[in-house]
Amino acid sequence: MKIVAICGCGMGSSVILKMNAQKALKDLGIEATVENSDLATGKAAAADADLVVIGRELSDAIDLTGYEVVVLDNFINKNEVKEKLEEYFKSKGILNG
């Protein structure tokens, strides 16, 4: 599974989001690679991804219609990242619960 973390510049905040997503995935027992991308190239990066994670403040700035997307209110909040990813994977039948 491939996940893309999108932020405005593809540097600081997406790296934090990437690290928080990796930790959450490990805790959930989900094997996936997580890459980070900037807003300008985010749609291209998402094209071959299974899931996109993005902060709410940027979610309206990029059209991700047709993509699997998890929108986060606070990507620094590790609990929220884990909870939203867990909800997503449960809704897809990847996690039981």
**pLDDT tens, position by position, 12-56:** 787 888 999 999 999 999 999 999 898 888 889 999 999 999 988
* Domain at 22, CATH number: 3.40.50.2300
* 96 assigned to some structural domain: no
- Say which amino acid occupies 93: G
pTM: 0.91
* 56 assigned to some structural domain: yes
* 13 assigned to some structural domain: yes
* 74 assigned to some structural domain: yes
30 to 53, 63, 73, 92: CA distances (angstroms): 15, 27, 22, 13
* 58 assigned to some structural domain: yes
Range of the structural domain that residue 28 is part of: 2-91
* 21 assigned to some structural domain: yes
Phi-psi region of 44 (alpha: psi -120 to 50; beta: other; left: phi over 0): alpha
- Count of structural domains, the chain: 1
Answer yes or no: are the C-beta atoms of 5 and 18 closer than 8 Å.
yes
